[in-house]
Each structure stands twice: as C-alpha cells, then as structure tokens.
Amino acid sequence: MKSVKYITHIKNVKGLTDKEKERLSKIEDKFTFRANEYYLGLINWDDPEDPIRRIIIPTEDEFVEWGALDASGESKYVRVPGVEHKYRDTALFISQDTCGAFCRFCFRKRLFMHENKEVTRRYDEGIEYIRNHPEILNVLITGGDPLIMSTPKLEDLIRKVAEIPHVRIIRIGTKIPLFNPYRILEDSSLTDMIQRYSNGDKKIYLMLHINHPRELTRQSRQALKILRQSGAALVNQTPMIRGVNDHPQVLADLFLQLNMLDVPPYYIFQCRPTLGNKTFAVPIAEGWNILEQAKDRVSGLGRRARLVMSHKTGKIEILAVTPEHTVMKYHRNADPANRSKVMIYKTNPEAFWLDDFEEYKAWLKQEGLEGDTDPYTYW
Ligand code: SF4
C-alpha cells in the first residue's frame, strides 16, 4: 500500500520558508497541527491565498480570542463515554480523536487538545445505551475520522451497531477520501466491508466533508466512485469558510462537481464560533447571500444544500435574509418545544450565530439563561 507520510510539526512542511515555519510554529502549542504529504502536495505555494493552504496551514489569526471550544455545547449531550444523543432518532459515536489531517477551522479541535470523556475506543457501554433506546434509528460514527481506524477495528464497531435491530442507518463522517484517498484505493477490504453492511436491511451513508473543488483530485474522485459502488450512499456537508469557499462561483463549481460524482450537496454549515475561528467565519447575512448567488448558477440538483447553524439548541436553517429580517427555522430540535419553530429576527449584518441576535439575547435574559456556558468556554 502506498503509505502517505503524516507530518505533525510545522517545521517539517517543505513548502514553507524558515521564517514562516518559525512564526507559525507558535500556533502548534495552542492548536494541534497535522497534515500529510499527499494533501500538502495539492497546495500552490506561490499563492499565499491558496484555498487548500488555508484549510490546512495555520495562520496567526487563530490567536484572536473569539468563541468557545465547544461552540455547539456537544459535551452536554454525552450520555455515556463516546455517545452523544441530542436528536431523538440519532446518536453519535465519537470513535476517534484524530483525522487524516486537521482542518484549521475544525469545530471539534478540543478533541485533539485534551484528554476528554467525549471520545472512547471501548464501545460496549455506548452500544448498550443505543440498544436500550429503541427510538435511535441512525447512528453517526464520527470523531475525528473513523476511517483512520484499520478496517477490522472499524468493522468491529459497525458490526456491533448493525446488530441492534432498531438501527437502520449507519453514517460515517469522513474527510479521508480527500485527505488520503489511498486509504480507500488500496484497501479493498474496506469496500468489501461496506458492501456487507449496506445490504438493504441496513444502509451505510458516508457523510463527506469536501470544502473546495480543488480537493477533488483524480485519486479522490476514484475513491468516491469505489465507495459508491460498494453500496454506500454519499452526501457532502461543508462549512462556509472565509478564504476557502466564501465565493458564489467556488460553491457553484463544487455543487456541479458533486452532481457529476453523484454526491448530493446536503448541508452548508455556518462556521461555528469555535475558539480560534474568527478568521474563518462569514456573517450569517453575507453567507446566505453568497449561497443564494451560488444556487443561481446551478440547477435544482445543486440547490439541495441547506444553510444551517448547528446551535446547542438544535440545527437551525437560515431560510431567508432581507435588509430588515432574518428568517430561521429549527430543522432539528433538541427540545420538543422548538419543533419546527420559526424565528423572524431583525437582521444583524454582524451576526455570526443565533446568540448575536438581540431577540435571542432578550429571550436568554427572560429565561435567566445568560450565563449558560459550557466547560470549555473562553478558556
Ligand atoms: S475532518 Fe472534520 S473532525 Fe477532522 S479536522 Fe476536519 S473538521 Fe475536524
């Protein structure tokens, strides 16, 4: 198998000058760095604004104090080690604390920084929890990236999940086909395994994380083709990231290429206010306008993506933004009281998150929830 060399120190990145290495090494002490030679090879080093570079190479702007480490309050929904249960029918298995590389804007960067109870490699308690909750129809295996695991290890977890009669859909959240397509191209046991478990009774979905059309190389396209042929359903979700895909034409190109690859565009995420992410975030109003312009350039097939904010109270779709009003609706709700709730707030061009709207602040105050922060907030 072609081994892809992983690089865990900025000083070993060949494309950077010595001065850049010295400057950027300071960031490693705060936010972990990880890349690999294949993905670094996609960077145009002559372009300081290259989008692939932006995804993977640190920037000093990450030092700007903004946001929280657990911006969506995920840790609040951990029921037993490794299992989050926020939405009635869906549970998350946080099975890994590493990825094929680390996106600088990762909303789970806390998993790479701390010992924590959110990740487990011992699955029995989590399996027992899911078995005891017949309302769980979907299990998302995520992390980190589950495809970092060897195929036998991943199969061990998938088998245990698949044996639970009420679980019908098993999702795998992954960026490995983009970060290291050789993981798929050179291990046919992975696709054989997917075929065994995506069998009509159960279905495996791969929740891909493709940020930019340039990630779709010959190798990654081939990897996606093989995965689809194995019987997995593929969908794509990406945050809108400043300097990566915050342009209508980039998103339109991405949607078209996804359509060509039979990968429906599923979610465009509002960049979460995660610590270090100010430089990557696009305000809600601006992001909605960019996405609308992108949709204007593609057919209905490309227009399937919803702009959503993964708020701690639920997944909120941004339906429309006018100069006066921003219209949002709960797409998934953690609290049944929010089911399909519509919010029409005064547009705030500077709002990055629900908490930036005056109406939401007023509601928090009214409910006495103003200090409702999570253990990782603003440390
Ligand atoms: S692939 Fe996902 S989990 Fe991994 S670093 Fe990127 S955003 Fe984070």
Residue 122 pLDDT grade (very low, low, confident, very high; cuts 50, 70, 90): confident
Average pLDDT, the chain: 94
In a domain, 325, yes or no: yes
Domain annotation covers residue 227? yes
133 and 183 fall within a common domain: yes
Are 36 and 100 in contact by the 8 Å Cβ rule? The answer is: yes
pLDDT at 376: 37
Q: Which of 63, 94, 112 is the last residue of a domain?
A: 63
Ligand 1 atom with the shortest distance to the CA of 99? 4
Does 378 reside within a domain? no
Residue closest via CA to ligand 1's atom 8 equals 106
Give the structural domain span for 59.
6-63
How confident is the model at residue 373, as a pLDDT?
52
Same domain, residue pair 35 and 113: no
Report how many domains make up the chain.
2
Q: Are residues 25 and 83 in the same domain?
A: no
Please compute Rg for the chain using Cα positions.
Answer: 20
User: Residue 160 maps to which CATH number?
Assistant: 3.20.20.70
Judge whether 332 lies within some domain: yes
The pTM is what?
0.95
pLDDT tens, position by position, 299-344: 999 999 999 999 999 999 999 999 999 999 999 999 999 999 999 9
Among 15, 36, 63, which residue terminates a domain?
A: 63
Q: Same domain, yes or no, for 59 and 83?
A: no
pLDDT-based confidence at residue 120 (cuts at 50, 70, 90): confident
How would you write 89-151 as a 3-class SS string? CEEEEECCCCCCCCCCCCCCCHHHHCCCCCCCCCCHHHHHHHHCCCCCCEEEEECCCHHHCCH
80 strand-pairing partners: 83
Could you tell me the distance, in angstroms and rounded to a whole number, from the CA of residue 60 to the centre of ligand 1? 19
Helices 151-162 & 188-197 angle (0-180, nearest 10): 0
Mean pLDDT of 212-233: 98
Contact call for residues 291 and 305 (beta carbons, < 8 A):
yes
Say if strands 233-239 and 203-208 run parallel, antiparallel, or are unpaired.
Answer: parallel
Per cent of the chain over pLDDT 90 is 89
Pocket flag, ligand 1, residue 99 (CB < 6 Å) = yes
Q: Does residue 107 sit in the same domain as residue 51?
A: no
**Same-domain check for residues 157 and 19:** no
CB 279 within 8 A of CB 271: no
pLDDT (0 to 100) of residue 375: 40
Flag whether pLDDT at 371 surpasses 90.
no
Q: Is residue 188 part of a domain?
A: yes
Gap between the Cα atoms of 227 and 194, Å rounded: 8
Distance 20 CA to ligand 1 centre (A): 24
pLDDT higher than threshold 50 for residue 374? no
Is there a domain that residue 171 lies in? yes
| Region for residue 299 given its phi and psi (left: phi exceeds 0; alpha: psi -120 to 50; beta: otherwise) | beta
d(CA 301, CA 371): 43
Tell me which residue has its CA closest to atom 6 in ligand 1. Answer: 103
Alpha carbon distance 363, 127 (integer Å)? 37
User: 351 by DSSP, 3-state: which?
Assistant: coil
Ligand 1 neighbourhood includes 102 CB (under 6 angstroms) = yes
Number of Cβ within a 10 Å radius of residue 324: 8
Q: How far is the CA of 144 from the centre of ligand 1 (A)?
A: 6
Residues 43 and 24 occupy one common structural domain: yes
